[in-house]
Amino acid sequence: MSPLLDQLRTALRARHYSRRTEEAYSLWVRRYVRFHGLRHPSEMNEPEINAFLTHLAVEEHVSAATQTQALSALLFLYRHVLGRKMGELGDLVRANQPRRLPVVLTRSEVKSLLAELGGDKWLMASLMYGSGLRLMECLRLRVLDLEPQRAEILVRDGKGGKDRVTMLPRSLTPALQAQLTRARALHQRDLDEGWGQAPLPGALARKYPGAPADWRWQWVFPQQRRWRDPETGVEGRHHVHATIVQRAVKEAVCSAGIARHATCHTLRHSFATHLLEDGYDIRTIQELLGHKDVRTTMIYAHVLNRGGQGVRSPMDGL
């Protein structure tokens, strides 16, 4: 199976898919092959894909999003690796897609959560809430993405491979400048020791050989330990790992006494809902969040649950 997975990774990288997508697609291809007794995908067709996806929905009770991701992985495999275009999948049993509203914290809950964090964890959580960033968008910020004078953040290669501009809270400028000072000192120490290179997207490192060591391309939130690229052997420094921030936010939620399942992404949901509460236009919020369709942003209007003048319960009028 290894040669097939190598071909899959090569095809994904040639089309600039993210490493997370590469890992997910590789996992689904392995599960698909094992489900059919280690048969090679070239020996299988639509009925086998249908059987695997139906198994996921009926036996493993996966969500609609998970089943769709598995389907996307298999379609990519057949189209771009095996060179075959798949036809109709027949009577595919689709997983249920329940309509769920996002968890949104009140302003006081956000304040309590942030009060339980410190250092760079506080700053990252504050950026996710104050700028509407996804977790990985926050972790992948580079120095040149920040525009403190214009109070803007350039989010590069967000979900769907899109760039966008969002706000940089002016209240976070002092803490952000302090973080950049620490990161620059760390970067200079790495340079003095013969390292100090950050991985660059695409072919930028070949086009600009000096860019990996350039301060402007360094991570805003570098990890503590240096990292060695398994492909090139070059040692540099990656950004903070997502699990470190996720764990810190989870502990902060418990310490703050918040009795709901709040995560890093909850801060982004709260950002959008609180902007709606403040009367900002739904289209403006769509642009800040980077949503392709305004209908995705409209879910926060359902969370808000009020019209233009607000809706008050009749019980409150008794």
Q: Which residues contact 230 (CB under 8 A, 6 or more apart)?
A: none
Tell me if residue 25 is catalytic: no
Residue carrying structure tokens 């939130």: 221
268 belongs to the catalytic site: yes
Query: Would residue 142 show up in a list of annotated catalytic residues for this protein?
Result: no
Handedness of CA 81, 87, 90, 93 (dihedral sign): positive
Q: Which of 159, 226, 238, 250 is catalytic?
A: 159
The verdict on whether 32 is a catalytic residue reads no
Catalytic residue among 36, 238, 250, 265: 265
In the set 121, 239, 268, 274, the catalytic residue is: 268
> Are 237 and 222 within 8 A, CB to CB?
yes
Catalytic residue among 32, 78, 129, 300: 300
Choosing from 134, 142, 187, 274, the catalytic residue is: 134
Q: What CA–CA distance (Å, rounded) separates 125 from 246?
A: 10
Can 265 be counted among the known catalytic residues? yes
291 is catalytic: yes
Residues assigned a catalytic role: 134, 159, 265, 268, 291, 300
